[in-house]
Amino acid sequence: MNAPLRTPREILAEQGKLTKTVIAVHAGERTLDLMTPVPAGTEITPIDVTDPDALAVIRHSTAHVLADAVQRLYPGTKVTFGPAIENGFYYDFDRRDGQFTEDDFEKIEAKMREIVAADFPFRREVIEKADAKKLLEGMGENFKVEHLERLQGEISLYRHGEWVDLCEGPHVPSTGFLRAVKLTSVAGAYWRGDERNPMLQRIYGTAFPSQKELDAYLHSLEEARKRDHRKLGKELELIAFHPLAPASPFFLPRGAQIYRRLIDYVRALYDRSGYQEVVTPQVFDRELFETSGHLPTYGDNMFMAATVETVERAAEALVAKPGATAEELHKTVWDQMRFGLKPMNCPGHCLMFGMTRRSYRELPMRIADFGRLHRFERSGVTQGLTRVRTFCQDDAHIFCSLDQLQSEIVAFLGQVYSVYQDFGFSEVRVVIATRPEKRMGSDEVWDRSEAALQTAVQAKGLPFEIAPGEGAFYGPKIEFHLKDALGRPWQLGTIQVDYNMPQAFNLGYVGEDNTSHTPVMLHRAILGSIERFFGVLVEHVGGAFPVWLAPEQVAVLTVTDKVNDYAAEVVTLLKAAGIRVIADTSADKLGAKIRNARNMRLPYLAVVGLKEAEQRGLSIRSRDENKELGFLTLDDFIARVRTESLPSSLRPNT
RNA sequence: GCCCAGGUAGCUCAGUGGUAGAGCACCUCCUUGGUAAGGAGGAGGUCGUGAGUUCAAUCCUCAUCCUGGGCUCCA
């Protein structure tokens, strides 16, 4: 009944396809190594060492070599997992006698090179679970034993040289295939990713088929670091941080110019799309957040606002509780905190909706708010502009009827793509995040919400992924992810369907049938956190903001101080035309002025000398075209910059 | 919050158990120069903060704050 098993190596050899550079094979969906038997007759295609699909195999095998090297150098260290990841691999170790630091890398890499040079063949071995257990227990590999207990089906071991690991493969034929290897960093990581579990030590590394490709990768990392928004933000005088406001950015004048334009851009979009902007309070009575569910769910991450009154009441409450435990006292004080800084705008918007009697004629009601939000992000999770403790979103809540839900979501999806296009983002990942374990509302409501999102995405024909359990506590969401310079994905835009919060706030509107209905609420943001968007945008454009966003669009550079008056006049005229312009009339030579302005990534340099003053024009040099455009009259130049001062979606069609 | 690394002038960095250095930026002067750095001089730091070891600490130890790389988390 069962077809006889053959290894891919045997099959390829028969077909004459077994070259020295074949490291694995595709068999349908699966990637298998040359020693994993398949039923005779299985269609297989060889994977060459240079094939992109070879990378994961090379890296996973490299992780084994790393673990081997580490166990040779640091006896007693236990192994856990070592998968290939997007740009490399890692291996998690349990080492009791010390910590790995990057200083150890040289030694470990040297040992790895020895193992590679020995060109040990990888060998695969299928084993009974009980035997595997005995083996691993004998080796003292308790993490592997624990993992084994959860495994079902065929149990395989991989060996190279003396080293053996519980592993399903696939692996390269021998360690000699691992020619270009580099360890990159160390980090802590919880066993099985659960913070209640012991912390292991993780070593990250990367591997490529050749040194040339490894070098190219390291070079690209280097280039990416140059675009890091924290570095550019400082160099270009966009943002700053101060220890007295941890994880809270200052937007310097140049950064604030851009920040403001991001918001202006969204405002203009709102004006065209039926949104109404509001301004709402910063500090609310805690009762609001209890109703909304934020305090019970995210109380740990809220800033509470204490007043003298709070402290007095807390003191009295504590005095009344002699001998209480620390935990009880904690609660006693916490309970006296009456006010909290808003971490979200939605509860405030629910209050607003509920302030007057609403009619179906008012729906959909789209309430926009650029209110400042504060979230006490745990130390260690904050990062540059991409994860901060104070930020503002291009936040809006759409209160609508069930009938309107679908069209609102679809309209929003259209807006998101148009906006991302204006900013030059093309690679957008769409993720639908479904119900989490900790949530409000019934399963029927969640079924409906999730279906609404999925239907809309499908109606738009967008490819999407599902992230199970990743939704907000009040509703599922569609997330839009973009990547930063280092390839790390960030969620920017989102739209979330929420049947729960309107219910929690007991919101209603009078329908056509003259009875009360509960509105559905959509939480949506396109840029998401303006701070985060700013950071990702800086990296995306490498600090070279398009003309419509640049803090200064033109730098007037004088050749001699004989033309200072003309330069001043040019500045006045350009400003009058709404163009953002600065002048450099310093004693620097022209070359230095150009260098400075280019380093600040100004889109246009306008050189002014006696010739230009005489002919009432400018010698223009363009950053984006990276060349001199030659002499332009003031009028021609003004017309050009004014056109480019609009995002592409708002430019007149030419 | 957890693991690891770092914090020296405005910026980028070097450095030492005996109270600190470079380049750029800044200030002054000279130079009026045509498309990526003209020249000279000057000023600027209680070496993140607190404690400890030491005759002596920027350097060693501990604590703490901040930042970075990860883990967990992200309404």
* CA A83 – CA A244 distance, rounded (Å): 40
* CA A336 – CA A392 distance, rounded (Å): 28
3-state secondary structure of A289: helix
Q: Are A412 and A446 a contacting pair, CB within 8 Å?
A: no
* CA A435 – CA A450 distance, rounded (Å): 8
Q: Are strands A339-341 and A88-94 parallel, antiparallel or unpaired?
A: unpaired
* CA A482 – CA A315 distance, rounded (Å): 48
Could you report the per-residue pLDDT of A336-355, keeping only the tens digit for each? 999 999 999 999 999 999 99
Mean pLDDT for A132-141 is: 94
Mean pLDDT for A532-542 is: 95
> Structure tokens of A480?
């839009």
Q: State the residue for tokens 């708002």.
A: A650
Could you report the per-residue pLDDT of A235-276, keeping only the tens digit for each? 999 999 999 999 999 999 999 999 999 999 999 999 999 999
Q: How confident is the model at residue A482 (pLDDT cuts 50, 70, 90)?
A: confident
C1' of B70 to CA of A495 (Å): 29
A477 carries an active-site annotation: yes
DSSP class of residue A435 equals: -
Lateral strand order in the sheet of A122-127: A122-127, A155-160, A163-166
**Residues near A514 by Cβ (< 8 Å), separated by ≥ 6?**
none
**Residues near A515 by Cβ (< 8 Å), separated by ≥ 6?**
none
Q: How confident is the model at residue A189 (pLDDT cuts 50, 70, 90)?
A: very high
* CA A494 – CA A499 distance, rounded (Å): 16
> Does the C-beta of A607 come within 7 A of strand B?
yes
Mean pLDDT for A480-484 is: 85
The overall average pLDDT reported for chain A is 94
What ipTM does this complex have?
A: 0.95
Decide if pLDDT at A516 tops 80. yes
Q: State the residue for tokens 């007693």.
A: A76
Output the CA torsion sign for A414, A415, A421, A427: negative
Angle, alpha carbons A45-A51-A55 (nearest 5°) = 110
> Structure tokens of A19?
């070259």
User: Nearest residue to nucleotide B66 when comparing alpha carbons to its C1'?
Assistant: A243
φ, ψ of residue A133 in degrees (nearest 5): -60, -45
> Structure tokens of A332?
């006693």
Percent of chain A scoring above 90 in pLDDT: 85
- Residue among A111, A229, A523, A540 flagged as catalytic: A523
Distances (CA, A) of A170 to A4, A185, A339: 21, 25, 57
Q: Are A510 and A504 a contacting pair, CB within 8 Å?
A: no
Angle between helices A530-541 and A253-272 (to 10 degrees): 110
pLDDT of residue A488: 73
**Residue (of A521, A529, A536, A411) closest to A477 by Cα position:** A521
Decide if pLDDT at A116 tops 70. yes
Mean pLDDT for A101-122 is: 93
Which nucleotide, over all strands, has the C1' atom closest to the CA of A628? Answer: B35
- Give the distance from CA A237 to its chain's centroid: 24
**Residue (of A31, A43, A46) closest to A3 by Cα position:** A43
Output the CA torsion sign for A360, A292, A500, A451: positive
> Structure tokens of A64?
């084994």
C1' of B39 to CA of A557 (Å): 21
In chain A, positions 511-530 with C-beta closer than 7 Å to nucleic chain B are 523
Decide if pLDDT at A2 tops 70. no
Strand B nucleotides where any atom sits below 7 Å of a protein CB: 1-5, 7, 11-12, 29-38, 65-75
Q: How confident is the model at residue A485 (pLDDT cuts 50, 70, 90)?
A: low
pLDDT of residue A40: 81
Could you report the per-residue pLDDT of A606-647, keeping only the tens digit for each? 999 999 999 999 999 999 998 999 999 999 999 999 999 999
Could you report the per-residue pLDDT of A391-409, keeping only the tens digit for each? 999 999 999 999 999 999 9
A392 carries an active-site annotation: no
Q: How many helices (H) and strands (E) does chain A have?
A: 21, 35
DSSP letter for each residue of A22-91: EEEEEETTEEEETTS-EETT---EEEETTSTTHHHHHHHHHHHHHHHHHHHHSTTPEE----EETTEEEE
Q: How confident is the model at residue A1 (pLDDT cuts 50, 70, 90)?
A: very low
Mean pLDDT for A126-154 is: 92
* CA A253 – CA A391 distance, rounded (Å): 17
**Residues near A373 by Cβ (< 8 Å), separated by ≥ 6?**
A342, A343, A344, A345, A390, A391, A392, A393
Decide if pLDDT at A281 tops 90. yes
**Residues near A489 by Cβ (< 8 Å), separated by ≥ 6?**
A429, A481, A482, A483
> Structure tokens of A345?
């705008």
First-to-last alpha carbon distance for chain A, in angstroms, is: 70
Mean pLDDT for A532-536 is: 96
C1' of B4 to CA of A202 (Å): 10
Decide if pLDDT at A300 tops 60. yes
φ, ψ of residue A358 in degrees (nearest 5): -105, 145
Which region among A61-75, A89-103, A474-488 has the lowest average model confidence (pLDDT)? Answer: A474-488
Integer-rounded Cα radius of gyration of chain A: 31
pLDDT of residue A353: 98
C1' of B59 to CA of A303 (Å): 40
- Give the other-Cβ count within 10 Å of A637's Cβ: 22
Decide if pLDDT at A302 tops 50. yes
C1' of B56 to CA of A230 (Å): 40
* CA A42 – CA A486 distance, rounded (Å): 40
A523 carries an active-site annotation: yes
Which region among A324-328, A376-380, A512-516, A587-591 has the lowest average model confidence (pLDDT)? Answer: A324-328
Mean pLDDT for A297-318 is: 94
C1' of B70 to CA of A202 (Å): 8
Q: Are A492 and A536 a contacting pair, CB within 8 Å?
A: yes
Mean pLDDT for A375-379 is: 95
- Residue among A33, A165, A395, A484 flagged as catalytic: A395
DSSP letter for each residue of A475-510: B-EEEEEEE-TTS-EEEEEEEEEESHHHHHTT--EE
* CA A110 – CA A532 distance, rounded (Å): 41
* CA A157 – CA A123 distance, rounded (Å): 8
In chain A, positions 456-485 with C-beta closer than 7 Å to nucleic chain B are 472-474
Q: How confident is the model at residue A152 (pLDDT cuts 50, 70, 90)?
A: confident
Percent of chain A scoring above 70 in pLDDT: 99
A219 carries an active-site annotation: no
> Structure tokens of A243?
């220890």
C1' of B74 to CA of A137 (Å): 39
Distances (CA, A) of A155 to A81, A124, A128: 16, 10, 7
Which nucleotide, over all strands, has the C1' atom closest to the CA of A293? Answer: B75
A395 carries an active-site annotation: yes
Mean pLDDT for A282-300 is: 95
Q: Are A208 and A180 a contacting pair, CB within 8 Å?
A: yes
Helix, strand, coil tally for chain A in percent (to 5): 40, 25, 35
In chain A, positions 336-395 with C-beta closer than 7 Å to nucleic chain B are 343-344, 346, 375-384, 387
In chain A, positions 103-162 with C-beta closer than 7 Å to nucleic chain B are none
Q: Are strands A239-240 and A250-251 parallel, antiparallel or unpaired?
A: antiparallel
> Does the C-beta of A295 come within 7 A of strand B?
no
